[in-house]
Chains A and B, each alone.
Chain A
Amino acid sequence: MPTKIEKDVITGTDTTGHEWDGIRELNTPLPKWWVYVYLATVVWGLGMFVLYPSIPLGTTYFHGLLGYSSRADAMAGVAEMRAMHGKQMQQIGALPFAEIQKNHDLMEVALTAGRITFAENCQPCHGPNGEGRIGYPALDTDVWRWGGTLDAIQQTITHGIRSGDPEARTSQMPSFGADGVLKPDQIQQVADYVMTLYGKGKPGVEVAAGQKIFAENCAACHGDKGQGNRDVGAPPLASRVHLYGDARETVVAQVTKPRHGVMPNWNQRLTPATIKAVALYVHSLGGGE
């Protein structure tokens, strides 16, 4: 309790009467305007309390006289954004690729939508930038098993590869070793030859036998120079880019009992317009034809 309120000699101001070890405190209350501002904030706060959602009531809450909801606000924004993008995606779905590519704004939307869709759906196998990995083709290079034009890419994404879709791209390389078509030493010979096609052949190794086997068994699909055939999905062998790698044992394993990768048909998951956007994005990664 204040005990000794007295006038301070130097300033002429009253003290509060409190004293701590001889130190006394001047009674200098807050300026009036400060107090009024404080009271105004209290009034303001009460107003907010009445106008906006404030009191929790178990499972519900007092909604406020204005009926404001930040969630409704956000959902309105989302709906607005959907409507805006919906119009552009509709255009992307309706226009041919050449028209989309000429429209800078539409192209920007398509590439953005494509990039996001790619990251959500394609990246786990093909890598974040389409660089691919063993067994999953790179999409940023110029080797295409089924074609690298926009239409071909769209077709591949829509129906997939060996996906079970009636229009899926399908190819089947015979199991030359497992089915006994070629003997193990013949497979070794053909592997020696195939490696020369992409410049990894060992010097001094005789490949004439392998070349003969290749011409009789492989050239029908892979071409007489190993250039591949997109119509049947036979990959080029005279290439520095290989789905399963370019080591000798890989070639031997593939001839003996080939692996056949599967790509899903995305028409089950994505709209045609989104697939077109993804096709445009994949095409822009660098390999597009």
Chain B
Amino acid sequence: MMGDQGAVNVIHHVPEAELEPPNKLYADRVRVYPKAVDGLARRIKWGILVFCLAVYYLLPWLRWSRGPGAPNQAVLLDLWNERFFFFNLELWPQDIWFLTGLLALGAVALFLVTSLFGRLWCGYACPQTVWTDLFMLVERKIEGDRNERIKRDRGPTTFGKVWRKIAKHAVWLGIAFWTGGAWVMYFVDAPTAVREFWTGTASVEVYVFIGMLTATTYLLAGWAREQVCTYMCPWPRFQSAMLDEQTFIVTYEAWRGEPRGHGRRLGVAETKFGDCVDCSACVHVCPTGIDIRDGAQLECINCGLCIDACNHVMAKTGSKPWLITWDTLARQVVKKEGITPPLRLLRARSLIYLGVMLVGTAVLGAGLALRSHIGLSVAHDRAPLFVRLENGDLRNGYSVLLINKSRQGAEFRLAVEGFTGAQLVLPEASGKPAGTLSVTLGPDTVQTVRVLVQGRPDHLEAGRQPLDFVLRNEATGEKAVYHSLFMGPGGS
């Protein structure tokens, strides 16, 4: 149960004082047998499930032409070559801050959505929910719905039970294998990976990761299920910081439903009962096995399947639908009096989350659009700091790292600014001294060259003077500057 002191009013099913002292130090798992249900929430959930899984399984197969020498996979996290490809976007290791930013934005987006509509992520889009839903679908198709499964599990071991169990786990493992395999395809070329996998020529890493991810998918979605949400995931633990009484969440209208109970209602004007017939339909469909009538609680993933279940019952009993509905706790308090105040979605909390998101998106977008396709880094030789030449000139050596991030090879011009008459030499190419150097960099290239700068520096009193290296792409005009130093004996 979540914090009593929180903004959300939690109704304990049983007062704590009446609880028996536990005879075990930790609770046994109560097996959950979710019942099939149809309705608005269920259909939205199916839609999102199909969309998410389609994207996940098919995206690695999408081809994307990037020209020769570049991978033609639309989404590829090429760790081996240190490049991330997203359609037309290519990220270098230096751009990793963008992924960090994206994750931070994702977190804030999660805060925003949760403050507005509760744990939509948990109920609809979280991989744990999506795959658990898929596994439950398989289970239902093979072993039947809730009652049939409970009956068979409690019954003796029969042929029908055994083959169904074997079939279920086989399909689960198949899905898990496909899931693990699809994950690996985001990191290696998909068609190549499949061919190599089945011909036994893929790398050990590919087999190990597919094996690991198959195992985790099978265990988490087949066996652990709601326990992941309740015990392993940190999100439920701090969701109470995002939720408040204005959050639009799955809510049981207790003022309408209580007192609950079985009994005649149709055609009877006055009964002692509320609309809730205590049929437990809402509990039976719940994938985490909770009772929504206890109020908002840690285990609730806000999926709304109980709403669908209850609406069917309300239709049968002739009561108004939406006894379990989406609403805010604040409105529930006054709805009792027949007032339905407007939703207050825009409030300080959500505006702050929204503001952070907009600023973050703008910063990330600008950073991405303006990021440089040219890189320059210069390291001065440690020893000797300088060399004197026959005619008295001074010479300094540098290791210069040149980066061309663009997809086009080009001529680059390297020059220095700091003192007039400085000459550049490429010693490893035994080049002649020149005012600027021309370097050809292929597409997507990092290259280190040793560059010597020689001449007569004009203000070397302190033993060093600033020297700027300037690299310019002759084709695009883009340039990069690196501030370095020219060193000498000083005092002259």
Which residues of A pack against B, CB within 8 Å? 10-12, 101, 107, 111, 127-129, 131, 138, 140-143, 198-199, 236, 239-241, 283-286, 288-289
Contacts and interface: CB of A to CB of B under 8 A. Distances in A.
A141 B428 contact: no
A240 B25 contact: no
Interface stretch (B76-84, B233-241, B312-320, B383-391): B383-391
Interface string B337-366: 000000000000000000000000000000
Nearest to B430: A288
Given A141-B395, A288-B430, 18 more contacts: A11-B23, A11-B24, A101-B429, A101-B430, A129-B384, A131-B387, A140-B387, A142-B389, A142-B390, A199-B392, A236-B390, A239-B390, A240-B388, A284-B427, A285-B427, A286-B387, A286-B395, A288-B427
Contacts of B397: 140, 286
Nearest to B431: A288
Interface of B: 21, 23-25, 381, 383-384, 387-392, 395, 397, 425, 427-430, 450, 452
A143 B392 CA distance: 11
Contacts of A140: 384, 387, 397
12 contacts: A12-B23, A107-B428, A129-B383, A131-B387, A140-B397, A141-B389, A239-B391, A240-B389, A240-B392, A241-B388, A241-B389, A286-B397
B211 to A, nearest CB: 20
Contact of B450 (A131, A141, A284): A284
A12 B24 CA distance: 8
Contacts of A289: 430
A280 B387 CA distance: 19
B21 A286 contact: no
Contacts, number: 60
Contacts of A101: 429-430
Contacts of A143: 389-390
Residue picked from B391, B392, B425, most chain A C-beta under 10 Å = B391
Contact of A240 (B23, B390, B429): B390
B453 to A, nearest CB: 11
Contacts of A199: 392
Nearest to B395: A286
Contacts of B450: 284
Contacts of A288: 427, 430
A111 B428 contact: yes
A147 B428 CA distance: 17
A164 B62 CA distance: 72
Contacts of B381: 129
B21 A10 contact: yes
Nearest to A111: B428
Contact of A286 (B25, B390, B427): B427
A286 B452 contact: yes
A241 B390 contact: yes
Residue picked from A142, A199, A236, A239, most chain B C-beta under 10 Å = A142
Contacts of A286: 387, 395, 397, 425, 427, 452
B384 A131 contact: yes
Given A11-B23, A199-B392, A141 B387 contact: yes
B390 A141 contact: yes
A140 B160 CA distance: 86
A138 B397 CA distance: 15
Contacts of B23: 10-12
A234 to B, nearest CB: 14
A289 B390 CA distance: 14
B47 to A, nearest CB: 42
A236 B429 CA distance: 26
A51 B391 CA distance: 71
Nearest to B385: A131
Contacts of A198: 392
Nearest to A236: B390
Contacts of B24: 11-12
Given A286-B395, A288-B427, A11 B389 contact: no
Contacts of B390: 141-143, 236, 239-241
Contacts of B395: 141, 286
A12 B387 CA distance: 85
B21 to A, nearest CB: 6
Residue picked from A141, A143, A286, A289, most chain B C-beta under 10 Å = A286
